[in-house]
Amino acid sequence: MKRSDPFRIYERYPDQFVATFGKSGRPVAHSNSLRKLYASLKRQGIAPAETIVEKVPPKDAVVIY
């Protein structure tokens, strides 16, 4: 199973919440609010426990880990 590139997620969904499948890293939902993100997961029949939800920083942000 091929893993998704996290940098592509950061470029594609800046300043949004993104839910990805844990093992593959494939994005399954994204939104500007957590409420809408979880509603999207529910519509798709995906349990939130099967995903990893993170807030993607804005494009111009400097993030140090």
CA atoms within 13 A of residue 8's CA, in its CB half-sphere: 7
Q: Are 47 and 38 in contact, with CB atoms under 8 Å apart?
A: no
Give the whole-angstrom CA distance, residue 47 versus residue 61.
31
Question: How does pLDDT run across 1-60, given as a tens digit for each residue?
Answer: 455 677 788 889 999 999 998 778 899 999 999 999 999 999 999 999 999 999 999 988
* Per-residue pLDDT, 1: 44
User: Domain limits of the chain?
Assistant: 6-55
Tokens representing 41?
């997961």
* Per-residue pLDDT, 46: 94
The SS3 of residue 54 is strand
* Per-residue pLDDT, 41: 96
More confident residue, 63 or 8: 8
Nearest to 54 by CA among 28, 2, 1, 3: 28
Question: How does pLDDT run across 7-24, given as a tens digit for each residue?
Answer: 788 889 999 999 998 778
